[in-house]
């Protein structure tokens, strides 16, 4: 096999699988590992692949995983925020959790909207506070510095006193089998209370989090009414959730 031919093959494999191991290549093509390494070296200096210890990675690999922009997946979250906002009408009482998706929604609220937002998330409260026509009710209690949200029995008791029109949950993981799950026990307690205190529960989740699971369970799918992602409602990824009875937007 010619050198050029071999390199073309390698490049093809890299682009196909996003990664190659030099060890597997050298048995495939039946040349020594040195040769493979030299090929990868060349392809790397030409910028065709990214060489790493043990093999090489495709360029798209890096693009996918190493997001350099500030908030992760911000554009998707903007789309979600817009969909969520379309559910809100004047005069509503709205409970919200924390999280960057909720924050994005808070920032995008139309200025003429008049509604009452109830939350214990300090960053979210900050955003609501800047809005000219929104009433903000703060859920008080001890602050969890990790999640920047008030947590504890007081907070839960206060949430149980309200009956909101909509509850928007920033979702950490959602899965057909395990429902909504999260990774912070205190926050989960809070979300449970919020779900109970709302006529309608809306989950906001970027598509990447759909079909993922976290250690602590918040609730079953049947307890939530609507799922909002950045994908169109008819995306096949969301089909199972439609079938499970959720309104998917």
Q: Which of 8, 17, 27, 34 lies at the binding interface for DNA (CB under 7 A)?
A: 34
Q: Does 176 bind a second copy (CB under 8 A)?
A: no
Nearest alpha carbon to residue 46 among 63, 60, 59: 59
Give the shortest CB-31-to-DNA separation in angstroms. 4
24 touches a second copy by CB under 8 A = yes
Mask of contacts with DNA, 46-85, x by CB under 7 A? Answer: -----xxxxx------------------------------
The correct pick among 8, 12, 16, 23 for binding DNA (CB under 7 A) is 23
Residue 37 binding partner per list a second copy, DNA, none, with a CB distance cut-off of 5 to 8 Å that depends on partner kind? DNA
In the complex, the smallest distance separating the C-beta of residue 44 from DNA, rounded to whole angstroms, is: 10
Residue 60's binding partner among DNA, a second copy, none (Cβ under 5 to 8 angstroms by kind) is: a second copy
Q: Are strands 216-219 and 55-57 parallel, antiparallel or unpaired?
A: unpaired
Contact 239, 206 (CB under 8 A): no
Residue 120 or 226: which CB sits closer to a second copy?
A: 120
CA angle 35, 37, 39 (to 5 degrees): 70
Pick the closer one to a second copy by CB: 55 or 179: 55
Half-sphere exposure of residue 108: CA atoms within 13 angstroms, side-chain side: 19
Q: Tokens at residue 151, please?
A: 């947590």
Cβ 57 vs Cβ 21: under 8 Å: no
**Closest by Cα among 214, 228, 207, 248 to 105:** 228
Which of DNA, a second copy, none is residue 75 near (CB under 5 to 8 Å by kind)? Answer: none
CB nearer DNA, residue 1 or residue 232 = 1
Q: Binding string, 30-49, against a second copy, x = CB under 8 A? A: ------------------x-
Closest CA to 171 of 161, 185, 160, 181: 181
Closest CA to 99 of 138, 139, 42, 149: 149
Pairwise CA distance, residues 65 & 58, whole Å: 12
Stretch that binds a second copy, among 65-73, 82-90, 221-229, 233-241 (CB under 8 A): 65-73
For binding to DNA (CB under 7 A), which residues are involved?
A: 1-3, 6, 21-23, 31-35, 37-39, 41, 51-55
């Amino acid at each position: 096999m010619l050198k050029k031919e071999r390199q073309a093959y390698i490049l093809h494999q890299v682009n196909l699988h996003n990664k190659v191991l030099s060890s597997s290549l050298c048995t495939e093509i039946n040349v020594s590992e040195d040769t493979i390494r030299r090929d990868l070296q060349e392809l790397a200096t030409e910028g065709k692949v990214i060489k790493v210890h043990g093999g090489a990675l495709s360029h798209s690999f890096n693009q996918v995983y190493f997001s350099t922009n500030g908030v992760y997946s911000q554009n998707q979250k903007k789309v979600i925020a817009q969909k969520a906002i379309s559910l809100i009408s004047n005069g509503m009482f709205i409970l919200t959790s924390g999280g960057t998706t909720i924050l994005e929604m808070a920032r995008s609220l139309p200025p003429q909207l008049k509604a009452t937002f109830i939350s214990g998330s300090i960053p979210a409260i900050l955003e609501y506070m800047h809005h000219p026509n929104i009433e903000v009710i703060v859920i008080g209690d001890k602050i969890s510095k990790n999640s920047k949200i008030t947590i504890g029995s007081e907070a839960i008791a206060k949430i149980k006193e309200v009956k909101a029109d909509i509850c928007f949950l920033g979702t950490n993981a959602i899965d057909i089998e395990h429902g909504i799950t999260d990774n912070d026990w205190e926050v989960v307690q809070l979300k449970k209370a919020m779900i109970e205190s709302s006529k309608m529960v809306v989950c906001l989740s970027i598509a990447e989090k759909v079909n993922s699971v976290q250690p602590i369970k918040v609730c079953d799918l049947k307890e939530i009414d609507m799922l909002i992602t950045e994908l169109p409602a008819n995306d096949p990824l969301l089909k199972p959730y439609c079938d499970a009875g959720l309104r998917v937007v």
